[in-house]
Chain A
Amino acid sequence: GAVVSQHPSRVICKSGTSVKIECRSLDFQATTMFWYRQFPKQSLMLMATSNEGSKATYEQGVEKDKFLINHASLTLSTLTVTSAHPEDSSFYICSAREVLYQPQHFGDGTRLSIL
């Protein structure tokens, strides 16, 4: 149980393109989803927290207008990287949690490469 699916697994696109990443909880309803970013040889950094039906809460230093998060249902959250540039190239990972104090379950990540 507790499977989180993330799609696509890899994206390569040109600078200025907007990229959408989907995160789905397959066998549970996720009241909260989280988005992380991981640069090479570094640890995961939390970007934002989203609760179903409300606006995402962004961590300090993360631009909300650049990283658009939508959590429209209890099983789906999307992250859109708008007008992506090479410095946005990273490994983006989502996680989902059913209720507070339960473990977060992670997707397999999306490797984004901006040329």
Chain B
Amino acid sequence: DAKTTQPPSMDCAEGRAANLPCNHSTISGNEYVYWYRQIHSQGPQYIIHGLKNNETNEMASLIITEDRKSSTLILPHATLRDTAVYYCIFPNFGNEKLTFGTGTRLTIIP
């Protein structure tokens, strides 16, 4: 079973920031949070990961709460190509196997 909870779907207007929440209340202190997305009929694409501090890269920002029990992925200026299923995952510590849940289906609206 997936160990994270995400809303099943979200809409966001093109050009606006998309904020995708994730609850991971059972995460332990040394487990990273990873975000991937899957565009229809393609393999998942790595977006970003973090442990405690907020992270930013060319694709997105990741905000992790101080207690590490939840995080938010931010796509600052969503485009139509950002329409995808977004997965928040924290792998098993020590073997780093990924367990994919159902994710959030993000639809960017023109």
Contact = CB atoms under 8 A, between A and B. Distances in A.
Interface of A: 2, 4, 6, 32, 34, 36, 43-46, 49, 91, 93-95, 97, 100-101, 103-109, 111
A109 B34 CA distance: 20
A95 B97 CA distance: 11
Contacts of A104: 46, 96, 98
Contacts of A109: 41-43
Interface stretch (B10-18, B20-28, B99-107): B99-107
A103 B43 contact: no
Given A43-B101, A43-B103, A103-B49, A97 B43 contact: no
Interface string B38-59: 1001111110010000000000
Nearest to B2: A43
11 contacts: A2-B46, A4-B43, A43-B2, A43-B100, A43-B101, A44-B44, A44-B100, A45-B100, A91-B41, A93-B43, A106-B45
Interface string B78-91: 00000000010000
Contacts of B103: 43
Contacts of A4: 43
Contacts of B41: 91, 109, 111
Given A43-B101, A43-B102, A101-B32, A107 B96 contact: no
A103 B46 contact: yes
A91 B34 CA distance: 22
Nearest to A57: B95
Given A43-B87, A108-B43, 6 more contacts: A34-B97, A45-B100, A93-B43, A95-B98, A100-B96, A108-B42
